[in-house]
Amino acid sequence: MAKKVLIVEDYPATSEMMANLMKMEGFEASIAADGPSGLKMATAGHPDLILLDIMLPEMDGFEVCDKLKKNPATAGIPIIIVSVRAADDNIKKGKSLGADDYVTKPFDPFKLIEMVKKYLGQTKGGKTSL
């Protein structure tokens, strides 16, 4: 069964590109366009990994990350923050709230795929299909 990746990103071009990357690697991808939707989809859909933007409408990604990590039903899901916010204090804040990793935009698609595979427990030996 394919691993499920939830993408919480409000910019449609970015979320679609990320979803296409995940699908090309054989993962199921779903998209939430705001924080509250991301929380609901994570709780109901039990994704294997979450790609989370910080600048989201209604509830920012830091709050989403904090709520997911405090909820026993979602606490074990790896979260990779993918954000244009590259300052060290943002990276530290994301990790202090429980994010497993942090990628700054614009990102290298190959590196993002490798990071996703790492957190999904897939071997690094294989090449990506990009």
- 81-116 pLDDT per residue, tens: 999 988 899 999 999 999 999 999 999 999 999 999
Tell me the C-alpha distance between 10 and 34, whole Å: 6
Concatenate the DSSP letters of all residues of 40-76 into one string: HHHHHH--SEEEE-SS-SSS-HHHHHHHHHHSTTTTT
Q: Report the pLDDT value the prediction gives residue 87, as an integer from 0 to 100.
A: 86
Orientation of helix 61-70 relative to helix 88-96, angle to 10°:
20
Task: Starting at the earlier edge strand, list the strands of the sheet with 79-83.
Answer: 28-32, 4-8, 49-52, 79-83, 101-104
pTM exceeds 0.85 for this model: yes
| Beta-strand pair 79-83/28-32 | unpaired
The whole-number pLDDT of residue 100 equals 97
Query: What domains can you pick out in the chain, each with its CATH number?
Result: 4-119 (3.40.50.2300)
Q: What is the dihedral of CA 123, 46, 80, 71, to 10 degrees?
A: -130
| Amino acid 122: pLDDT | 78
Q: One-letter amino acid identity for 13? A: A
For the stretch 6-33, pLDDT in tens is 999 999 999 999 999 999 999 999 999 9
